[in-house]
């Protein structure tokens, strides 16, 4: 939820803690600290790695918007902005032995290979530039790009708390409108996109040039991974020809593509980077292309729903 609030290129940035689900090194470090200071951190289902986070309450301080909790004591009517301003000058600099951050690495796959998880997420990471705005939709795709290493001044937006699908497409439009000088990249699953796809036309209407990726993996993949019967018809979708939507919506001159191999994805990304137009890329992947966190959630259904 708070990805990119801290500069991920800072030498002391170590990565994202998500309980026992991701990155064991970071889990051991965070849970082994003398004191964990949470700044606005909300310990919700997805932020806690399906409730697998184990941060000792008595060894933690939580600075919230209008209150502060220190161990078991709650101090109401304390404003975060005042606490941070008072606290920051009191801190002494420290060199801490901590894990080294690492992103997703290089994309792995041959040009003619079907798009795989080892190729897709590292390729998306590779295209990120300083200052980019990345808007990621609830679903398997945000769970994959959530673990990218963000360049300097690049910001990541995802609606992790409520996870209401359909949010990302119009959110990307809002972000692009607010900062037209920055590059806006939208990554959404096709199921979520079906709820608000008409907002693509707004980019054109306001002269904005986003780069949009629609991950078409044949339905609600995260739901398939989290429900009892993956093949239940709720998870199936009407089969749209996504890459034709920009044309139908009057997005003249946009780069549109439907890609099924690693080479085609790579070519579309390269073109989008130099095209100077809006770009809309339908990325076709099969149901086995599951980002690691989505897979871990599938493997942890018992803790996700039991808490």
Ligand X SMILES: Cc1ncc(C[n+]2csc(CCOP(=O)(O)OP(=O)(O)O)c2C)c(N)n1
- Per CB under 6 A, residues contacting ligand X are 137-141, 163-166, 189-192, 215, 217, 220-223
CA dist., res. 87 & res. 51, Å (int): 29
Bridge partners of residue 35, in order along the sequence = none
Closest CA to 217 of 228, 205, 230, 208: 230
DSSP code of residue 187: E
Residue nearest to ligand X (CB): 189
Instruction: State which residue, 99 or 163, has the beta carbon closest to ligand X.
Output: 163
Instruction: State which residue, 189 or 210, has the beta carbon closest to ligand X.
Output: 189
Q: Least CB distance from residue 56 to ligand X, whole Å?
A: 31
Instruction: State which residue, 75 or 305, has the beta carbon closest to ligand X.
Output: 305
Instruction: State which residue, 84 or 164, has the beta carbon closest to ligand X.
Output: 164
Instruction: State which residue, 63 or 225, has the beta carbon closest to ligand X.
Output: 225
Instruction: State which residue, 141 or 256, has the beta carbon closest to ligand X.
Output: 141
Question: What's the Cα-to-Cα distance from 142 to each of 73, 114, 139, 145, 166, rounded to whole Å?
Answer: 35, 20, 6, 5, 13
The set of residues, in sequence order, having a beta carbon less than 8 Å from that of 157 and lying 6+ positions away, is: 133, 134, 135, 136, 168, 171, 175
Q: What is the total residue count of the chain?
A: 307
Q: Least CB distance from residue 168 to ligand X, whole Å?
A: 9
Q: Least CB distance from residue 40 to ligand X, whole Å?
A: 23
Q: Least CB distance from residue 61 to ligand X, whole Å?
A: 32
Do the strands 60-63 and 67-70 form a parallel or antiparallel pair, or are they unpaired?
Answer: antiparallel
Q: Least CB distance from residue 194 to ligand X, whole Å?
A: 8
Q: Least CB distance from residue 238 to ligand X, whole Å?
A: 12
The set of residues, in sequence order, having a beta carbon less than 8 Å from that of 288 and lying 6+ positions away, is: 117
The set of residues, in sequence order, having a beta carbon less than 8 Å from that of 269 and lying 6+ positions away, is: 123, 127, 281
């Amino acid at each position: 939820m708070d990805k990119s609030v801290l500069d991920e290129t800072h030498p002391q940035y170590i990565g994202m803690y998500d309980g026992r689900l991701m990155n064991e090194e970071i889990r051991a470090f965070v849970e082994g600290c003398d004191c964990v200071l949470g700044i606005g951190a909300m310990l919700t289902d997805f932020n806690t790695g399906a409730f697998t986070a184990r941060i000792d309450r008595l060894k933690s301080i939580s600075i919230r918007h209008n209150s502060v909790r220190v161990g078991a004591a709650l101090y109401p009517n304390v404003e975060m902005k005042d606490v941070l301003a008072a606290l920051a000058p009191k801190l002494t600099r420290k060199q801490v032995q901590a894990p080294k951050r690492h992103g997703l690495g290089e994309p792995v796959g041959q040009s003619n290979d079907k798009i795989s998880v080892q190729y897709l997420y590292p390729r998306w990471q590779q295209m990120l530039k300083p200052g980019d705005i990345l808007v990621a939709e609830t679903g398997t795709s945000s769970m994959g790009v959530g673990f990218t290493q963000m360049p300097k001044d690049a910001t990541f937006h995802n609606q992790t708390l409520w996870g209401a699908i359909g949010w990302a497409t119009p959110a990307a439009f809002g972000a692009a409108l607010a900062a037209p000088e920055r590059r806006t990249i939208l990554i959404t699953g096709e199921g979520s996109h079906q709820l608000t796809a008409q907002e693509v036309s707004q980019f054109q209407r306001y002269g904005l040039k986003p780069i949009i990726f629609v991950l078409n993996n044949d339905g609600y993949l995260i739901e398939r991974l989290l429900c009892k019967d993956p093949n239940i018809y709720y998870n199936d979708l009407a089969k749209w020809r996504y890459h034709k939507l920009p044309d139908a919506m009057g997005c003249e001159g946009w780069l549109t593509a439907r890609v099924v191999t690693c080479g085609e994805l790579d070519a579309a990304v390269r073109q989008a980077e130099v095209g100077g137009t809006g770009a809309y890329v339908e990325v076709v992947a099969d149901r086995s292309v599951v980002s690691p966190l989505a897979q871990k959630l599938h493997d942890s259904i018992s803790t996700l729903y039991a808490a």
